[in-house]
Amino acid sequence: MKKIYRKNVWVGLFIVWMLGLGRTAVAKENECWVDFYEYAEFIGDHLRLEGPLKMANLRDVKGQNWELRIDSLIVGPKAKVTLYENANFKLTLTEMAKHPDLMKSLGITEQEILNESELTFNPNQKINHLGVYNFHKKTKSLKIDCID
């Protein structure tokens, strides 16, 4: 009886150990993600997206409209995220940069073009308020790239 009991204990421990290894492998594979929050300081509705991913618009993300809602974010350890002010990854002001006379007539500076078209954040960055980048609730499309 003791032999059977000991064997069952060892089999049980082995199964628990294998399950733990499986969870670790899954966690390492899923390190490419970004957590988005509706308000500054990681408050409000929360949305996690796993990459790689390209979203031309944010109108129907997991059944909700996230367009113009993102105000803070946390980038996972193997992710790089680019936020776009326009749908379909369009860089409207960047296109204007190709026409310096038009920019000058509209009073648009090169710095405004750099600040208002897109933002890129690297692995493990925590952005507690996109207002710091003049990107407060401006995101209409995004890309998540996975990095090794």
The answer on pLDDT for 4 being more than 70 is: no
> For all residues of the chain together, what is the average pLDDT?
80
Average pLDDT over residues 40-63: 96
Residue 1 has pLDDT above 50, yes or no: yes
Model confidence band, residue 22 (pLDDT cutoffs 50, 70, 90): very low
Kindly list the distances between the CA atom of residue 81 and the CA atoms of 2, 50, 95, 100, 121, in Å, as whole numbers in the listed order: 57, 11, 21, 29, 5
Q: What are the structural domain ranges in the chain?
A: 1-30, 32-146
Domain 32-146 has CATH 2.60.20.10: yes
Residue 75's pLDDT is 98
* Lowest-confidence region among 38-42, 124-128, 130-134: 130-134
Show the DSSP H helices in the chain as ranges: 2-29, 92-96, 100-106, 110-117
DSSP 125: -
- Residue 50 is encoded by which pair of tokens? 């796993």
Q: What share of the chain in percent tops pLDDT 70?
A: 70
Tens-digit pLDDT profile for residues 56-105: 999 999 999 999 999 999 999 999 999 998 888 776 665 666 777 877 77
d(CA 104, CA 146): 38
Query: Does residue 25 carry a pLDDT above 50?
Result: no
Q: Residue 72: which H helix or E strand, with range?
A: strand 72-75
C-alpha closest to that of 139 among 60, 82, 80: 82
Strand partners, 143: 54, 82
Higher pLDDT, 32 or 4: 32
